[in-house]
Chain A
């Protein structure tokens, strides 16, 4: 029977199937961080259970870590306790850990691919919804809660009900200045934050095939913002070239065997999806959000919409409260929206290509008076690479702050936060109320738009400079 990529990945991991029960799926890689794991390790201890496969588990510290003075103890006592708890749990249960201050530390979704641990055909989970990022390699990757984290630690499996499949086809060529971030923000605005609910999404088409691995990760990362637990892209030569030679990538005969398998990981030509969505790449442009959920977005050339024109009562009410929270008037041109802060980083846009794209805009320019720009590499390896290329000098010379790796202002669990009423242009993934700090207002943007916005102090595309 013809199958989709998602169905092939699913079927190849079924440990047990019984009538009327969810499937039991094997998990090839479990990523762990400090926030969603302590209660899971506690559960293991209470029941006297070991971690079944510490050699398929890897931990890092990312959500809480400060991005300055990382050689000092964490000043926030509660954050420090959480990080210490992870260290004790990893030591007790034998889980490899990349702690703050070491070469491989970084955001969990940046370090997996960078180490070559994320490979096509795998099942990958983490107690974090942006685990969908790893789907860019042709893996089935999704976020889980702490009860499931404990389940995977104890059994290396998860019980899951099969989900429906959705194809998002993006044909044509992206215009200059349009990035993967603009693609995914456009998609979410089109299908809504619930549009992908219950689906495993596969992104395909010429525009997707033309993207780098890092850009593919940006798109898969935000699948969850459209409601889909997992997004994926069939692996191809771009994927294989990215993986070759990475520390945990297969070598020698193993590489050949893996490659032969990876080449089979495609949806069959006659496979059917439960839902299909099509976007024409040529029609896309830089895209930004105006509201408090990622589906509330418009082209940067557009205006804040008028809730009165919305026919769906839920959408209208949500738009009214979003405008009140954001302090915006309907009809305002997005280009007239002034920001206090620009955040470049996160598991969505904190990789080396994102930093390069922003640096290319900032080179020879200055961050506007009164605007604070934070540049937070997704991992210490990304930081190292950026410094090798002199990007840190470009950011510093422009007046931006050059930080160490972590989730940082994406969710403000560390000291990097917006103050009440402050407004940001952010390359992160969520513009929820208070996400970047209580009372903070977030506009989601691409790295080039973030850089151009820093220069003018208003939402701006590089082409406007």
Chain B
């Protein structure tokens, strides 16, 4: 996983709430068996039917910080939504509230999802609409979003922050605790089922 420390980029103002993962990456794209190439499917229904959709506008080309309304990433657990955002070039998503599974997926895969208040979202939308080139900085070291003369602190637990700052693989970390897993398995009750074909 790529390390995340500080990122400065331009904003894509997505003026919508309740952006579910079916919108981020429609199901037709989920048939691929690889982990790459999903950027082409990002918001593909909106991109293909609405010429004015923000992702179709040349002034936002290269934006890397997506700013959305509340309840971004609700619905399906498809991690393809995270891969699509990353493959398209996004490093950060800011929203007042995320779907739980999407948020978990993003922080596992190295896409930084940051909770910010609604007034910050509104301010960043307005600013990006007036000046699409205006940069915003997301600093994971300091846990701050900075733009113009504003500094907005955000919360992220120490462990996740440490893992992202160092680009660490979760599985590798867990495998260092295999003794604990062995000990737990030795205590599991005998009545629990296995999936071996039932006799």
Which stretch (B2-10, B137-145, B184-192) binds chain A?
A: B184-192
Residues B166-186 near A (CB distance < 8 A)? 170-171, 174-175, 177-178, 180-181, 184-185
Chain A interface: which size bin? 35 or more
Asked whether, in the complex, the Cβ of B105 is within 8 Å of the Cβ of A193, the reply is: no
**Binary flags per residue of A394-430, CB closer than 8 Å to B gives 1, else 0:** 0000000000000000011100000000000000001
Interface stretch among A206-214, A248-256, A335-343, A366-374? A248-256
B82 contacts the other chain (Cβ, under 8 Å)? yes
Whether, in the assembled complex, A109 has its beta carbon less than 8 Å from a beta carbon of chain B, the answer is: no
Q: Which residues of A contact B190 (CB under 8 A)?
A: 254, 257
Assess A161 versus B157: contact at CB under 8 Å? Given A145-B104, A147-B79: yes
* A78, A81, A247, A318: the one within 8 Å of B16 (CB): A318
Q: Decide yes or no whether B75 CB sits under 8 A from chain A.
A: yes
Closest to A148 in B: B108
B184's partner among A26, A43, A129 (CB-CB below 8 A) is: A26
Within 3-40 of B, Cβ neighbours of A (below 8 Å) are at 15-18, 20, 22-23, 26-28, 30-35
Instruction: Indicate if B196 sits at the interface (CB-CB under 8 A).
Output: yes
Chain B CB within 8 A of A29 CB: yes
The residue that B195 contacts in the complex, of A76, A96, A227, with Cβ under 8 A, is: A96
**Complex contacts, B27 vs chain A, CB 8 Å:** 411-413, 435
Residue A38 CB within 8 A of the other chain: yes
On whether A248 and B31 interact (CB within 8 A), knowing A143-B77, A147-B109, A161-B157, the answer reads no
Q: Do residues A435 and B71 form an inter-chain contact, with CB atoms below 8 A?
A: no
Chain B residues within an 8 Å CB radius of A244: none
Known: A145-B82, A293-B18, A317-B15. A21 touches B159 (CB 8 A): yes
Contacts of A456 in B (CB 8 A): none
B80-113 interface bits toward A, Cβ cutoff 8 Å, 1 = contact, 0 = none: 1010000000000000011111001100110000
Judging by beta carbons under 8 Å apart, are A129 and B170 in contact? Answer: no
Tell me, yes or no, whether A156 is within 8 Å of chain B by CB.
Answer: yes
Interchain CB contact under 8 A, B193 and A413: no
Indicate if the CB atoms of B28 and A257 lie closer than 8 Å. Answer: no
Provide the A284-302 mask, 1 if CB < 8 A to any CB of B, else 0. 0000000011000000000
Compute how far the CA of A150 lies from the CA of B33 in the bound complex, rounded to whole angstroms: 14
CA distance A351 to B30 in the complex (A): 26
Q: CA A36 – CA B198 in complex, angstroms?
A: 26
Q: Which one, B17, B99, B105, contacts A227 given CB within 8 A?
A: B99
Quick check: is B45 within 8 A (CB to CB) of the other chain?
Answer: yes
How far does the alpha carbon of A38 sit from the alpha carbon of B195 in the complex, in Å? 20
Determine the chain B residues whose CB is within 8 A of the CB of A38 once the complex forms: 33-34
Most buried by A among B34, B71, B190, B195: B195
B69 within 8 A of A: yes
Q: Does B151 contact A (CB under 8 A)?
A: no
Interchain Cβ contacts under 8 Å between A and B, 27 examples: A15-B177, A21-B159, A28-B192, A29-B195, A55-B195, A57-B195, A81-B31, A116-B193, A129-B77, A131-B77, A142-B101, A145-B77, A145-B108, A146-B80, A154-B171, A163-B100, A194-B71, A224-B75, A227-B99, A250-B193, A314-B70, A315-B17, A317-B15, A411-B22, A432-B23, A433-B22, A433-B23
Given A155-B174, A163-B100, A257-B191, 6 new contacts (CB under 8 A): A42-B34, A64-B31, A119-B193, A122-B192, A147-B109, A157-B174
